[in-house]
């Protein structure tokens, strides 16, 4: 398959409106935005960084473990992945990790096993040159929120301590259930209370249970004091290029008011535009708002 056939359009994560520190955020590619192309074998995982750099001018990428689940300990695979990125000047930023067990499992043996299951991804992130791995804060929803927070904090603290020994942050995304309750997740951060533990606020993931959702703006604001990454989720756009589900100006203002100047990882999940067009539209909106706020 040619690179043209797998083109992903993204911009390099340069500061927007760099003359004003308030507007200095960077743009990265959350490769989950292209999950249909990757799962559909229309794109090779190895080619994401190449296309990002050569065809999109992007030089930062957020990998998803779901595209190389059985390769975390495959040094040949990781070496090739790292080489492709390095050869094209692309910086791996983080790895989002799923399906490794619940780090807040009420059964201690299962909780410790879930923590151990994440170790290989910490090592992979270190090898690739990432600053963090993203994990989930799941427990047992039959327990009270307070009990779940205590269990998640226990498992997370153990994993964070291991990550710190490898100079890797461990960060948590709002990803459904109690983790999408910003106040609850902020409380977990306070309980862990370690500098290499943080959050990855996602603009779109706020369902706390079927039919109920946490206020996304409140949730992002509550998580931002601990943020070591931000996921710029998008779904659809109007004729003026504004996101129709999320008030991006309000979100970016919350992000910048928190003093955050790191990467915003584009993650388009809509269906009306192609994945490429959705990423382009999100990038254009981020750049426009960044310039306006400057």
- Where residue 181 sits, what CATH number does that domain have? 3.20.20.150
CB atoms under 10 Å from CB of 84, counted, come to 18
Adjacent-strand bridge partners of 253: none
What residues make up the domain containing 262?
A: 4-293
pLDDT of residue 210: 86
* Prediction pTM value: 0.90
pLDDT for 12 beyond 80: no
Adjacent-strand bridge partners of 133: 95, 170
pLDDT band with cut points at 50, 70 and 90 for residue 50: confident
Q: Which two tokens stand for residue 106?
A: 């009420």
pLDDT band with cut points at 50, 70 and 90 for residue 84: very high
∠ CA 104-106-108 to the nearest 5 degrees?
A: 90
pLDDT for 18 beyond 70: no
Distance CA 119, CA 251 (A): 33
Mean pLDDT of 225-231: 98
Going by C-alpha positions, the residue among 133, 69, 138, 141 that lies closest to residue 102 is 138
pLDDT band with cut points at 50, 70 and 90 for residue 208: confident
Name the DSSP class of 14. Answer: P
pLDDT band with cut points at 50, 70 and 90 for residue 128: very high
pLDDT for 9 beyond 90: no
* C-alpha distances out from residue 192 to 98, 160, 165, Å: 20, 9, 16
Whether 25 and 60 have beta carbons less than 8 Å apart is answered as no
Mean pLDDT of 92-106: 98
Q: What is the pLDDT of residues 155-206, one digit of tens each?
A: 999 999 999 999 999 999 999 999 999 999 999 999 999 999 999 999 999 9
The better pLDDT of the pair 14, 232 is held by: 232
Going by C-alpha positions, the residue among 128, 106, 129, 101 that lies closest to residue 116 is 101
Which of these ranges, 6-10, 41-45, 257-261, has the smallest mean pLDDT?
Answer: 6-10
Going by C-alpha positions, the residue among 30, 99, 114, 35 that lies closest to residue 67 is 35
pLDDT of residue 211: 86
Whether 206 and 176 have beta carbons less than 8 Å apart is answered as no
Distance CA 201, CA 182 (A): 9
Number of domains in the chain: 1
Mean pLDDT of 76-96: 96
């Amino acid at each position: 398959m040619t690179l043209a056939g797998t083109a992903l359009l993204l911009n390099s994560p340069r500061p927007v409106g760099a003359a004003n520190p308030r507007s200095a955020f960077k743009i990265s590619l959350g490769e989950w935005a292209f999950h249909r192309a990757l799962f559909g074998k229309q794109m090779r995982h190895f080619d994401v960084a190449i296309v990002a750099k050569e065809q999109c001018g992007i030089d930062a990428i957020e990998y998803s473990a779901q595209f190389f689940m059985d390769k975390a300990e495959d040094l040949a695979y990781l070496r090739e992945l790292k080489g492709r990125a390095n050869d094209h000047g692309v910086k791996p930023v983080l790895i989002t990790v799923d399906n490794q067990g619940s780090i807040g499992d009420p059964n201690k043996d299962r909780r410790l096993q879930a923590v151990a299951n994440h170790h290989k991804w910490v090592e992979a992130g270190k090898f690739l040159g990432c600053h963090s791995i993203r994990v989930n804060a799941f427990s047992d929803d039959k327990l009270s929120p307070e009990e779940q927070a205590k269990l998640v904090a226990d498992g997370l603290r153990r994993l964070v301590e291991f990550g710190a020994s490898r100079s890797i942050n461990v960060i948590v995304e709002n990803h459904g259930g109690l983790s999408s309750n910003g106040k609850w997740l902020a409380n977990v951060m306070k309980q862990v209370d370690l500098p290499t533990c943080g959050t990855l606020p996602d603009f779109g993931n706020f369902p706390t249970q079927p039919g109920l959702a946490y206020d996304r703006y409140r949730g992002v604001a509550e998580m931002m004091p601990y943020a070591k990454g931000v996921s710029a989720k998008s779904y659809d756009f109007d004729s003026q290029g504004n996101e129709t589900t999320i008030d991006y100006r309000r979100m970016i203002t919350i992000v910048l008011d928190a003093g955050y100047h790191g990467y915003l990882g584009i993650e388009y999940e809509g269906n009306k535009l192609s994945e490429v067009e959705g990423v382009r539209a999100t990038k254009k909106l981020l750049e426009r708002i960044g310039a306006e706020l400057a």
